[in-house]
Amino acid sequence: MKRIHLILLALATGLTAILTGIAIGHDKRPAAPIYGVKLPDGYRNWPVIAPAQEAAPLNELRVVVGNPKAMRAYRDNIRPFPDGTVLVKLAWKHTQSPDFAPASIPGAATTVQVMVKDSKRYAATGGWGYGRFIDGQPVDEAQHRTCHACHAARVKDRDYVFTRYAP
Amino acid sequence: MKRIHLILLALATGLTAILTGIAIGHDKRPAAPIYGVKLPDGYRNWPVIAPAQEAAPLNELRVVVGNPKAMRAYRDNIRPFPDGTVLVKLAWKHTQSPDFAPASIPGAATTVQVMVKDSKRYAATGGWGYGRFIDGQPVDEAQHRTCHACHAARVKDRDYVFTRYAP
């Protein structure tokens, strides 16, 4: 029995080391000021909630994608969004297609913007934490101060979320 | 042993019935003229290749999504796209956001357009089959006759695919 205990202890220690390694790995991702929001793993593979276009001066094409909790909430019309919902908006400069005159397409990537629902942690901002990233790095605190004020002023009645699901 | 054989036979028969049911279910999906292309299962959950905007008269916002083979080919820069690649373009009318002046967003869904790579079946059209659907129903043969001619005229050197991966 002692030998089995030792083996189990060794396995548990190994597992702990691996999980700690993963956790430390995650912690290396830079966190947004104020909210501590990070770019979520794998978001580039998430399903589409909706595209959007933003006029000048930003002049961008955008796509908002959601994690499984977000997609379920949209499709089952669950509001407020449950804790754990994550929305990510990818944005690119809006440029003329070289191949087809009526079309315009993504140019250089600009920002990636994240909303994370955690009703306790972000109770002061309607349950949402915000992160805005350029090239994987969060922008400054002043920019992050603008996020919630705009959402609260315009779409408080939709749980602070602008984007509607595109059918 | 005989009893086990009978049980296995019953299980196999049941499985056959289920698989046949699934196959028949699939066959009910309407097929595009010329190519026999159907709307693929689950495409609304596929990852984004890129958004696009189409000017008047169509005036649309669009997102092209891809199945796993498509995403791998884009990310690993594999051309020509392998057999089994499926690309789907979702399109919506492009309308003003009621919430935020500089933004425009999807209105009503218009078409869903599909490209399927099968180098043998579609050898006459560069290996691609095309399908264009409105409300789940394929449009007419005349419209389908226009697909490949346009792709061949403009993006033959990119394996007939307009959409580039948005980074």
Q: Is B59 on the interface with A (CB under 8 A)?
A: no
Summarize the confidence of residues B66-92 as an average pLDDT: 98
Amino acid (one-letter) located at B105:
I
Q: Is B106 on the interface with A (CB under 8 A)?
A: yes
Summarize the confidence of residues B17-33 as an average pLDDT: 67
pLDDT in tens, B91-105: 999 999 999 999 999
Which pLDDT score is estimated for A20? 47
> Model pTM?
0.85
Nearest-5° Cα angle at A70, B39 to B50: 50
From the list A46, A55, A100, which residue is nearest B162 (CB)? A100
Q: Are B67 and B47 in contact (CB under 8 A)?
A: no
Work out whether the CA dihedral A138, A55, B43, B120 comes out positive or negative: negative
Q: Is A95 on the interface with B (CB under 8 A)?
A: no
Containing H/E element for B96?
strand B86-96
- Partner-chain contact A45 B106, CB within 8 Å: no
Which pLDDT score is estimated for A31? 98
Q: Is A165 on the interface with B (CB under 8 A)?
A: no
> What is the average pLDDT score of chain B?
91
- Partner-chain contact A90 B154, CB within 8 Å: no
> Mean pLDDT for each consecutive 10-residue tract of chain A (167 residues)?
58 52 64 98 98 96 98 98 98 97 97 98 98 98 97 98 97
Which pLDDT score is estimated for B28? 84
Which pLDDT score is estimated for B2? 59
Place of tokens 């250089």: A108
Summarize the confidence of residues B30-56 as an average pLDDT: 98
Which pLDDT score is estimated for A28? 84
pLDDT reading at B18 higher than 90: no
CA A77/CA A74 separation, integer angstroms: 5
pLDDT in tens, B121-139: 999 999 999 999 999 999 9
Summarize the confidence of residues B14-31 as an average pLDDT: 61
Residue B153 buriedness (CB in 10 A; 0-12 / 13-18 / 19+): exposed
CA A162/CA A155 separation, integer angstroms: 6
Phi-psi region of A101 (alpha: psi -120 to 50; beta: other; left: phi over 0): alpha
Establish, for the pair of chains A and B, how many residue pairs have beta carbons separated by less than 8 Å.
113
From the list A56, A90, A105, which residue is nearest B52 (CB)? A105
pLDDT reading at B16 higher than 90: no
ipTM above threshold 0.90: no
Is the preceding peptide bond at B57 cis, omega within 30 degrees of 0? yes
CA B40/CA B86 separation, integer angstroms: 8
Which pLDDT score is estimated for A17? 47
